Amino acid sequence: MNFGIDRLLADAALRKPLEGKRVALLAHPASVTEDLTHSLDALVAAGVTVSAVFGPQHGVRGDLQDNMMESPDFTDPTYGMPVFSLYGEVRRPTEASMATFDVMLVDLQDLGTRIYTFITTLRYVLEAAAEHGKAVWVLDRPNPAGRPIEGLTLRPGWESFVGAGAMPMRHGLTMGELGHWFIRTLGLDVDYRVIAMEGWAPEAAPGFGWPVERLWINPSPNAPNLNMARAYAGTVMLEGTTLSEGRGTTRPLELFGAPDMDAKAVIAEMRRLAPEWLAGCALRDIWFQPTFHKHVGQLCNGVQIHAEGRFYDHAAFRPWRVQALAFKAIRALMPDYPLWRDFPYEYAFGKLAIDVINGGPALREWVDDSAATPGDLDALIRPDEAAWAAESRDFRLYPG
């Protein structure tokens, strides 16, 4: 099993088009080779002329723990090249930063979820490359959530930094595959290539998307393990609520809760409303006390989602529905609970955060409608999932 960076380093013929070129690297802490060498160090050692580095949200170094924390530009202390932040004063590459390279290598570990901002950064890079006549290569990495597709498709007019395009929440593609989709969908004229992985089997046990022989390195500070990556397409919606998503604990985005929540009652109501939506995982009531973020220092009662071990069924697990069902259960048990958090999520002003996250208001409206059933939401979701499955199949570079 070789990732794109490993193949590029091992094959001089793949690197040959980079000779005489100024090369930029878009990377983060999980941009490492099989032997855990950071891609920047490995590329420099291989003789590639790296002239600039770019960092996505949380920065090249992944040093910013909380969400919506901006990173500054700086000069790399080892090699002296400029490091440009694409989550600071700007979200898109500037004309000045685009002038520092001829080819950009994108080596980002993604989580397979529309809201994870690395794919939006890829879109912005491709658009800038088309405008400035630059080449973009994606050094492909696995989608740890695998091929399953789930959730509502982002609606027109709801594009944002957490909504790069009209795809469901769980899109089932790799970064390299998504690049092809962006180029076709946006009609971009750009020199684009993917250094594909070798031996990736997205439906193979036990990893089902993640090759378990490779170590997990956090692509962002609150992405600590494979269980989080599997649950994230659902638990990310918690960012638009008053419930804690576990930031400030050791298991962020694998759990949810609040000081005034009765976890056992919530689980029981979820099972009553739609037991079939809970297949492929285990729910466990827990207690936790966040050290920062929502409900900091308060004892919370909550639910942890276990999409791992003997409880995990890759084909059956549907994290977006699991979390949606939790919201519905809380609303049924406590109709007046202040569930939705009102703040400018990712700088999208004038819209509720939960709607920005879901690319439209349909999920929130379903939760708040006491007469709406799980079947009603399924009727909205299934056409979106089927349409994306048909559309995205054309962009798959790997069997399975």
- The residue extents of the domains of the chain are 4-220+390-395, 226-368
What's the whole-model pTM score?
0.95
Q: What is the pLDDT at residue 350?
A: 85
Spatial separation of the C-alpha atoms in residues 199 and 234, rounded to whole Å: 28
Question: What's the pLDDT at 65?
Answer: 47
User: Helix crossing, 319-333 with 226-235: angle to 10°?
Assistant: 50
Whether 195 contacts 14, CB under 8 Å? yes
Q: Yes or no: is domain 4-220+390-395 CATH 2.30.42.10?
A: no
pLDDT of residue 59: 79
According to DSSP, residue 54 is labeled E
Where on the phi/psi map is residue 259: left (φ > 0), alpha (ψ -120 to 50), or beta? Answer: alpha
CB 171 within 8 A of CB 112: yes
Instruction: Tell me if residue 213 falls in helix, strand or coil.
Output: coil
Q: Determine the pLDDT at residue 63.
A: 53
CATH 3.90.1150.140 assigned to 226-368: yes
Are the CB atoms for 123 and 164 separated by under 8 Å? yes
Taking Cα atoms as reference points, which of 113, 179, 101 lies closest to residue 140? 179
Predicted confidence pLDDT, tens digits, the chain (400 residues): 999 999 999 999 999 999 999 999 999 999 999 999 999 999 999 999 999 999 998 878 655 545 445 677 899 999 999 999 998 889 999 999 999 999 999 999 999 999 999 999 999 999 999 999 999 999 999 999 999 999 999 999 999 999 999 999 999 999 999 999 999 999 999 999 999 999 999 999 999 999 999 999 999 999 999 999 999 999 999 999 999 999 999 999 999 999 999 999 999 999 999 999 999 999 999 999 999 999 999 999 999 999 999 999 999 999 999 999 999 999 999 999 999 999 878 777 789 999 999 999 999 999 999 999 999 999 999 999 999 999 999 999 998 7
Distance (Å, whole) CA 358 – CA 36: 35
Q: What is the pLDDT of residue 72?
A: 79
Per-residue model confidence (pLDDT) at position 5: 98
